[in-house]
Amino acid sequence: MAQVVFREATKTFDGVTALDHLDLEARDGELLVLLGPSGCGKTTALRLVAGLEEPDSGEVLIGEQVVNDVEPKDRDVAMVFQSYALYPHLSVRRNVEFPLRQRGVDPAERRRRVAEVTESLGLGDYLDRKPRQLSGGQRQRVALARAIVRSPRAFLMDEPLSNLDAALRLQTRADIVALQQRLGTTTLYVTHDQVEAMTMGHRIAVMDRGALQQVDGPQAIYDHPANAFVARFVGNPGMNLLPLLAVHEGPPAAYGDVPGGTVPLGAPFVTDPALARAAAVVQGASSPSLLAGIRPEHLRLGEDGTIDATVLIVEVLGAEVHVLCTLLDGTSKIVVRQEAAARRPGAGEGVRLVASPGTVHVFTGVSGARVGGSS
């Protein structure tokens, strides 16, 4: 077991930067999720650790060792591919023992380890089947078995659940977490699914356009997104981001103007000096240079509301309801999450929205960096 570290790791493909000076550490025994949209560089990062790509600059360390020039086979990492990458002409048994044969493990030991691993993953009855005779979930478990059978220093998992149906994904997600906890092996887990990231990761590294946006525990990332991208990407639905037209210091705390109303910004300028500075900036700007971020669950419909909006669509999800509204400027959209039992407005109905005090985040409009607000 070992930590995996990126130091200023950069990788470009044909002039396009896939990974931009990545500084990141997966701690020993940790399950670190790399989360981001397609093309954000998360898979490239994983491939750098595996040795399937070489960084243009910077270093990758496994344990204390810089592995830039170490052959993939000598890095002692195992990878689970999105496509599972099972050898179609080999049985489950041969697939699982494939890495052991190359390492010259003697046949008796090989049999013992294959039996132990396949038994623990519920594959004991399928050892003589070919991959095409297995279901998606079983193939996925074979891929996992092949990874863990050699007891590597780190697991690299590249969207291993994305080919499974929803129910199976839920089950396998729990299986992988349990497995990782049992083995305690450092794991880098790549996904674009923020629910997967939130439920599985000890920590989450959110990436966008090759750059690390934020790395922290799931709850911290959700509660304190470092920028507008993280705020929007994490959460389902993501955080509402509204143009903040002006920021006022008003008793008892600061508040901001958004199209069609106002939102409470939570802290007086004196306790949040960043807000005071932002207020000065926004006053002099010709177009909105700040964004107010509000999670859908921190909004509710009510007569005491401070934002006027018109209902566009009402989505019923069973346990909860999402109400999508437009603000008075006609372009800004806002989603309200409410309980199924609450009164459901109809499409086209005018409503008033209330943002809970202390829940509004403020980001700059240009860089998206966090300015202040909800603490």
Q: How far apart are CA 245 and CA 290, in angstroms?
A: 7
User: Is residue 175 helix, strand or coil?
Assistant: helix
Judged by CB under 8 A, does residue 78 bind other proteins? yes
Strands 31-35 and 186-191, bridge-based pairing: parallel
Between residues 101 and 367, which has the closer beta carbon with respect to other proteins?
Answer: 101
Judged by CB under 8 A, does residue 83 bind other proteins? yes
Between residues 95 and 374, which has the closer beta carbon with respect to other proteins?
Answer: 95
Residues 228-247: x/- map of binding to other proteins (CB under 8 A)? --------------------
Q: How far apart are CA 270 and CA 247, in angstroms?
A: 14
Stretch that binds other proteins, among 62-70, 96-104, 251-259, 280-288 (CB under 8 A): 96-104
Residues 51-70: x/- map of binding to other proteins (CB under 8 A)? xx------------------
Judged by CB under 8 A, does residue 133 bind other proteins? no
Between residues 40 and 105, which has the closer beta carbon with respect to other proteins?
Answer: 105
- Selected binder of other proteins within 65, 82, 91, 306 (CB under 8 A): 82
Which residues are registered as beta bridge partners of 242? 292
For residue 127, the one-letter residue type is L
Q: What is the DSSP string of 42-60?
A: HHHHHHHHHTSS--SEEEE
Tokens of 142: 């074979």
Minimum distance, C-beta of residue 239 to other proteins, in the bound complex (Å) = 35
Between residues 123 and 142, which has the closer beta carbon with respect to other proteins?
Answer: 142
Judged by CB under 8 A, does residue 182 bind other proteins? no
CA-closest candidate to residue 336, choices 317, 358, 354, 360: 354
Residues in the chain: 375
Judged by CB under 8 A, does residue 13 bind other proteins? no
Identify the residue whose tokens are 């509402």: 240
Minimum distance, C-beta of residue 166 to other proteins, in the bound complex (Å) = 23
Stretch that binds other proteins, among 49-57, 121-129, 200-208, 288-296 (CB under 8 A): 49-57
Between residues 89 and 112, which has the closer beta carbon with respect to other proteins?
Answer: 89
Judged by CB under 8 A, does residue 50 bind other proteins? yes
Judged by CB under 8 A, does residue 162 bind other proteins? no
Between residues 85 and 178, which has the closer beta carbon with respect to other proteins?
Answer: 85
Judged by CB under 8 A, does residue 375 bind other proteins? no
Q: How far apart are CA 352 and CA 139, in angstroms?
A: 51
Minimum distance, C-beta of residue 292 to other proteins, in the bound complex (Å) = 44
Tokens of 176: 């992988």
Minimum distance, C-beta of residue 349 to other proteins, in the bound complex (Å) = 48
Binders of other proteins among 99-118, rule CB under 8 A?
Answer: 99, 102-103
Alpha helix stretches (DSSP H) within the chain: 42-50, 92-102, 107-120, 136-148, 166-183, 194-200, 218-223, 228-233, 273-284
Judged by CB under 8 A, does residue 81 bind other proteins? yes
Between residues 150 and 298, which has the closer beta carbon with respect to other proteins?
Answer: 150
Judged by CB under 8 A, does residue 88 bind other proteins? yes
Query: Which residues, in sequence order, are CB contacts of 92 under 8 Å at separation 6+?
Result: 118, 123, 126, 127, 128, 129, 130, 131, 134, 142, 145
Residue 314 in contact with residue 345, Cβ under 8 Å? yes
Compute CA distances 240 → 73, 109, 233, 291, 373, whole Å. 46, 56, 11, 9, 14
Binding site for other proteins (CB under 8 A): 50-52, 72-73, 77-79, 81-85, 87-89, 98-99, 102-103
